């Protein structure tokens, strides 16, 4: 089994908040994607995403549109509820979005850097997603990460979607709790984690060792690639070891969000969590 790298530096732990961080509705502007950032803000929708954002002291809420009765029970202190009809809400969210009668305009979250996450001392599991571009998958991974105590999810900036209402809806409120960290270069990000005492394990179907057999230390990074393409060669080469999930031979691979849930559950059972 790999020996733990040097002790993490004594950097202080970044504070973790309890949750993460009247006009009629405006129609979506031409050339701006509904549910995206548009004019500098973005529209979140769905009860879980809206409720979590309103309860997050790090998130600035700008406007709240609601169907009659839909805003009941939401956290207090946010913007004044603007009564709206279904047409007004559907003008600011993606086509076909399940908005549950709520749309909240917010500013994007300020997320930590790879270096800031790596410097947090103590047991820590971080997930890196290589070439995962579907916001539904990233949202589902964030939801599993929150459930099993993963410190942060890291994506490559130019190969992953921006923060959007669709991603937040798929995360079911956990975008406010689990940092979604963007890195320019994933290989360099892996090197940064190694410098702070992490071991890096890449999931690869061709690996000889299963995740269950691997003796990972308490500070580790797990790297997951997209279904089919898997890990890129350079990212794979920067991992300390490759592992696979123990699966029936008749199943070639899992969707990345499913693979992430299994991986996080396996690691949480070993006590490898903050």
- Rounded distance between C-alpha atoms, residue 134 and residue 258, angstroms: 14
Mapped onto helix, strand or coil, the DSSP state of residue 106 is: strand
Backbone φ and ψ of 150, nearest 5°: -75, 135
Task: Identify the pLDDT of residue 181.
Answer: 97
pLDDT reading at 157 higher than 60 = yes
pLDDT reading at 19 higher than 60 = no
pLDDT reading at 170 higher than 60 = yes
Task: Identify the pLDDT of residue 9.
Answer: 40
- 190-200 pLDDT per residue, tens: 999 999 999 99
Task: Identify the pLDDT of residue 272.
Answer: 65
pLDDT reading at 110 higher than 60 = yes
In a 10 Å sphere around its CB, with 0-12 CB exposed, 13-18 middle and 19+ buried, how is residue 166 labelled? buried
84 — pLDDT class (breaks 50, 70, 90): very high
Task: Identify the pLDDT of residue 274.
Answer: 56
Q: Can you tell me the mean pLDDT for 63-79?
A: 94
The pTM assigned to this predicted structure is 0.83
Q: Give 114-268's CATH code, choosing from 3.40.50.720, 3.40.50.150, 3.40.1280.10, 3.40.50.300.
A: 3.40.1280.10
Average pLDDT, the chain: 86
Task: Identify the pLDDT of residue 116.
Answer: 98
**Lowest mean pLDDT across 7-11, 83-87, 148-152:** 7-11
Q: Can you tell me the mean pLDDT for 117-134?
A: 95
Question: Domain segments of the chain: what residues?
Answer: 42-106, 114-268
Task: Identify the pLDDT of residue 163.
Answer: 92
Q: Can you tell me the mean pLDDT for 211-235?
A: 91
- Rounded distance between C-alpha atoms, residue 138 and residue 160, angstroms: 9
Strand ranges in the chain using DSSP code E only, listed in sequence order: 42-45, 61-66, 81-83, 102-106, 124-130, 152-156, 180-183, 199-203, 209-210, 219-225, 241-244
- 22-57 pLDDT per residue, tens: 333 333 332 333 444 545 689 999 999 999 999 999
């Amino acid at each position: 089994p790999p020996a733990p790298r040097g002790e993490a530096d004594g950097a202080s732990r970044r504070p973790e908040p309890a949750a993460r961080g009247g006009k009629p509705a405006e129609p979506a502007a031409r050339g701006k994607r509904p549910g995206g950032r548009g004019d500098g803000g973005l529209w979140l929708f769905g009860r879980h995403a809206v409720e979590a954002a309103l309860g997050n002291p790090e998130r600035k809420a700008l406007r709240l549109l609601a169907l009659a009765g839909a805003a009941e029970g939401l956290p207090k202190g946010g913007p004044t509820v603007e009564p709206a009809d279904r047409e007004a809400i559907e003008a600011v969210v993606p086509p076909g979005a399940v908005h549950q009668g709520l749309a909240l305009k917010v500013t994007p979250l300020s997320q930590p850097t790879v270096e800031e996450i790596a410097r947090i001392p103590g047991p820590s599991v971080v997930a890196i997603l290589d070439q995962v571009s579907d916001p539904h998958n990233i949202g589902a991974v964030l939801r599993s990460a929150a459930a099993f105590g993963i410190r942060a999810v890291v994506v490559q900036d130019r190969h992953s979607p921006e923060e959007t209402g669709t991603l937040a809806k798929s995360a079911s409120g956990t975008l406010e709790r689990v940092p979604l960290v963007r890195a320019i270069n994933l290989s360099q990000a892996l090197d940064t984690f190694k410098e702070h005492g992490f071991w890096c394990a890449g999931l690869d179907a061709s690996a000889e060792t299963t995740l269950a057999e691997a003796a990972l230390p308490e500070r580790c990074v797990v790297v997951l690639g997209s279904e089919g393409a898997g890990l890129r060669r350079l990212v794979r080469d920067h991992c300390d070891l490759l592992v696979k999930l123990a699966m029936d031979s008749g199943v070639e691979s899992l969707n990345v969000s499913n693979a992430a849930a299994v991986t996080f559950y396996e690691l949480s059972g070993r006590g490898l969590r903050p």
